[in-house]
């Protein structure tokens, strides 16, 4: 079984990409809804939650864990790989493909404050973007709109337009979706942006890495069962989960 976790439901965008690539592998998703969002939390607290969620998934039988959250990956990836005995696949904003995509040398990054302030993001920019202008925008409140299932309402549109404005004023032609929640806003982003602006979502690339690690680890296909849990209230989370995933699943409560 391949386990996934995120602060909430954003990591479903990553699990969808993996499910499309590996439809016969069993998947288990853990939404740490009781502690969502991670962005405003300290690095130490995010690291504690990352370990608790990963250990919970391993206890449920995960032989590979995907940290489907940029903030958790930034805060805890090295610790997780040192502490756990199973392979760990993490996330990072798609700076490298954005650099390859931009035609004008100006790239924007939409992400949480926790991701943008992390050392992992700083190393990415230093390594790949020395000759490109990278403008970052911490998108406070956007995760909460998606967690509420509001992907296209006036409040979400207004908030997203507010965060896009400085990027468009700077003439960026490539925007990195640096949070796994944000791909669910792609239809709205397409409406708000000019056709020549490229959106970078790292979910498909992470799915390819999961497939490689699964093959190297010897994980074998099974029946393609998908299970899910939340540290929050399953009854409250289930409707938005079904909306984002596209299918109704039974959610259990995770005490971790």
Instruction: Supply the residues annotated as catalytic.
Output: 69, 179
Task: Report the 10 Å Cβ neighbour count for 144.
Answer: 16
Contact indicator for 94, 201 with CB cutoff of 8 Å: yes
Spatial distance between the Cα atoms of 87 and 208, rounded to a whole number of angstroms: 15
Spatial distance between the Cα atoms of 182 and 190, rounded to a whole number of angstroms: 12
């Amino acid at each position: 079984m391949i386990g996934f976790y995120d602060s909430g439901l954003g990591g479903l965008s990553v699990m969808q990409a993996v499910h499309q690539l590996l439809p016969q592998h069993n998947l288990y998703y853990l939404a740490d809804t009781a502690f969502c969002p991670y962005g405003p939390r300290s690095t130490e607290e995010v690291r504690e939650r990352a370990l608790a969620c990963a250990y919970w998934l391993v206890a449920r039988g995960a032989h590979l864990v995907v940290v489907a959250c940029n903030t958790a990956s930034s805060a805890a990836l090295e610790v997780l790989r040192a502490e756990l005995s199973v392979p760990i696949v993490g996330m990072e904003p798609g700076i490298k493909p954005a650099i390859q995509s931009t035609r004008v040398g100006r790239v924007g990054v939409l992400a949480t404050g926790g991701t943008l302030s992390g050392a992992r993001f700083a190393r990415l920019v230093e390594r790949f973007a020395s000759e490109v202008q990278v403008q970052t925008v911490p998108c406070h409140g956007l995760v909460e709109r998606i967690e509420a299932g509001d992907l296209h309402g006036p409040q979400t549109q207004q908030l997203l337009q507010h965060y896009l404005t400085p990027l468009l004023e700077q003439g960026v032609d490539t925007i990195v979706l640096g949070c796994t929640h944000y791909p669910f806003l792609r239809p709205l982003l397409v409406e708000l942006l000019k056709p020549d602006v490229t959106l970078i979502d790292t979910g498909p690339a992470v799915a390819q890495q999961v497939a490689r690690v699964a093959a190297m680890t010897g994980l074998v296909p099974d029946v393609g069962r998908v299970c899910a849990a939340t540290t929050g209230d399953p009854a409250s989370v289930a409707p938005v989960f079904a909306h984002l995933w596209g299918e109704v699943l039974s959610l259990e409560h995770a005490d971790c």
